[in-house]
Amino acid sequence: MSTTERTRALRRRMIVEARRATIEHGLHGFTIEQLCERVGVSRRTFFNHFASKDDAVLGIEQGASEEMFRAFAARTLVPEETDPLGSVVALAIEQMHVVGLDRADEALVRRVFDREPAMVPKFLDVVDVQLAAVARAVRERFGWHDPADRRAQLVAETAGALLKVTAGTYFDDAYDEATDPPFEALLTDNLRQLRAALTTTGQDPTA
């Protein structure tokens, strides 16, 4: 396992254990020190990855997306010829490859929200911040710098809607990981269906 892979695995362990501790004890029922002891890391290591206990529970890793967004904006990540919406979908897929996607994680998050409903608006705030960062990266990548130009925001929000719909299918209890398509394939197909809906008048979803 490479250093990068070990770092990612450690981050995932801290996130999962923070969520489990929240489910068991409530957000205020354990300390960062106890979480570090549970994972087997120092406070310094914890704060190298997360700014707070809340961030660990929500999976907000310090600097995890900034480098990727810079590479996307500079056109060194995602093929240069990809159209704006397709490029953001490709960026999301790249992020999933880096962070990983586990249906068990989503089940933990549901239980966290059941135990700590106050975490829900914090999570929604994180989503808004992420979408704004994506819009800035899109604006930079395509040179849409006019303040009146809303294309970057529209692209980011549309990609966010695609991800929400895809997640709704992927994390549904009826989803079968053994037979149903993986998240990446679902997302790509939803992008295809959206484009078909916007460019055709027919009723065939396979068009």
Greater confidence, 4 or 52?
52
Considering only CA atoms, which of 70, 80, 77, 18 is closest in space to residue 49? 18
User: Which two structure tokens, joined as six digits, stand for 69?
Assistant: 């967004």
**Does residue 206 surpass a pLDDT of 70?**
no
CA quadruple 99, 142, 89, 86: dihedral sign: negative
CA dihedral 63, 67, 73, 78 (to 10 degrees): -120
Residue 66 vs residue 163, higher pLDDT:
163
**CA–CA separation, 41 vs 22, rounded Å?**
18
DSSP state of 28: G
Nearest to 123 by CA among 22, 10, 1, 9: 22
The answer to whether residue 205 scores a pLDDT higher than 70 is no
Two structure tokens written together for 165: 């719909």
Residue 189 has pLDDT above 60, yes or no: yes
| Stretch among 78-87, 128-137, 193-202 having the lowest mean pLDDT | 193-202
CA nearest to 110, candidates 29, 173, 36, 32: 173
Distance of alpha carbon 191 from alpha carbon 28, whole angstroms:
41
Contact between 94 and 187 (Cβ < 8 Å): no
pLDDT digits (tens, 9 = 90+) for 140-180: 999 999 999 999 999 999 999 999 999 999 999 899 989 99
Mean of all residue pLDDT scores within the chain: 91
User: Each residue of 69-82: pLDDT tens digit?
Assistant: 999 999 999 999 99
pLDDT at residue 128 greater than cutoff 60: yes
Instruction: Decide if 63 contacts 131 (C-beta within 8 A).
Output: no
What is the pTM (predicted TM-score) of this model?
0.85
